[in-house]
Amino acid sequence: MSAAKEYLNAHLLSTLVNAVVAKKSKMILEATSAEVIRELSQPPRPLYSGGRWKASEYSVPEEELLLWAYVSPNAKLTSEAAARYEELYIAVFGRLP
């Protein structure tokens, strides 16, 4: 099952899922190598190092936000992960709920 379908089946915001699909589709069409397409087809894998989060240059903030929303009900987030989730929420929606 595709990640988009999993997010929709988990009742996450369809507007976010649609934004991810649109942005990733555009990036895939503009990709210049198979390696870039492979990376775009994978879920986001932000790295936490030295007290900071680093996302891939091919990362879509809405997709990472969906990923945090998907895993957070089933796993206790560390304070760093919760802060990242909040940071992405603000970046995508402009404010906290």
CB-neighbour burial class of residue 44 (10 A; exposed 0-12, middle 13-18, buried 19+) = buried
Residue 45 is predicted with a pLDDT of 93
Domain boundaries, the chain: 3-93
Report the C-alpha dihedral over residues 68, 69, 75, 77, rounded to 10 degrees.
50
Backbone angles phi, psi at 49, to 5 degrees: -150, 135
Residue 2 is predicted with a pLDDT of 86
Residue 3 is predicted with a pLDDT of 86
pTM: 0.90
Calculate the CA 11 to chain-centre distance. Answer: 16
The two tokens of residue 83 are 């802060």
What is the pairing mode between strands 52-54 and 47-49? antiparallel
Q: Which residues contact 4 (CB under 8 A, 6 or more apart)?
A: 17, 20, 21
How confident is the model over 60-72, as a mean pLDDT? 95
pLDDT in tens, 1-55: 588 899 999 999 999 999 999 999 999 999 999 999 999 999 999 999 999 999 9
Indicate if the pLDDT at residue 67 is higher than 70: yes
